Amino acid sequence: MLLRREIAERTDHMVAHCGLGSASIFLTERSAGAANLIHLHHVGITEEVKHAYSAAGVFQDDPFVSAMQSGTCDFTDNWFRWDDNRLAPYKGAAPRYRGFIEQYSVDVVAAYVKHLTPNLFLLIGTHTGRAHKKKAHHSDADLRREVDAVANLVMMQLFEETLRYPEAVSALCKTIANHEVSGGAMMRPVANDVNFMLSPREGQIAKLVCAGKQNKEIAFETCLSEYTVENHLRRIYGKVGVHNRAALVSAMLRAAPGMFDAASS
Closest CA to 242 of 174, 188, 191, 193: 193
What is the structure's pLDDT at 180? 44
pLDDT digit string (tens) for 101-128?
A: 999 988 999 999 887 877 788 999 999 8
Range scoring the smallest mean pLDDT among 19-33, 129-143, 223-237: 129-143
Which H or E run includes 41? strand 34-43
Region 121-145 average pLDDT:
77
Q: Where are the extended beta strands (E) located within 92-166?
A: 106-117, 120-129
Side chain identity, residue 107: D
What is the structure's pLDDT at 262? 36
What is the structure's pLDDT at 263? 35
CA 150/CA 250 separation, integer angstroms: 12
pLDDT digit string (tens) for 142-197?
A: 898 899 889 888 988 888 887 777 776 676 666 555 544 444 433 333 333 333 56
The answer to whether 176 and 198 are in contact (CB under 8 A) is yes
The answer to whether 18 and 137 are in contact (CB under 8 A) is yes
Domains and CATH numbers, the chain: 5-139 (3.30.450.80), 163-264 (1.10.10.10)
pLDDT digit string (tens) for 45-95?
A: 999 999 999 888 888 888 988 887 776 555 556 788 898 888 888 888 889
Q: Starting from the edge strand earliest in sequence, which strands make up the sheet with 120-129, in order? A: 34-43, 22-31, 120-129, 106-117, 79-81
Residue 259 confidence (pLDDT) above 50 = no
Helix, strand, coil abundance in the chain, percent, nearest 5: 55, 15, 30
Residue 12 confidence (pLDDT) above 90 = yes
Mean pLDDT across the chain: 78
Region 130-149 average pLDDT:
73
pLDDT digit string (tens) for 220-244?
A: 888 888 888 988 888 888 878 788 8
Region 14-22 average pLDDT:
92
What is the structure's pLDDT at 193? 38
Which span out of 6-10, 129-133, 152-156, 196-200 was modeled with the highest average pLDDT?
6-10
Residue 262 contacts by C-beta under 8 Å, 6 or more apart in sequence?
162, 165, 167, 168, 170, 171
Residue 22 confidence (pLDDT) above 50 = yes
Q: Is 116 helix (H, G, I), strand (E, B) or coil?
A: strand
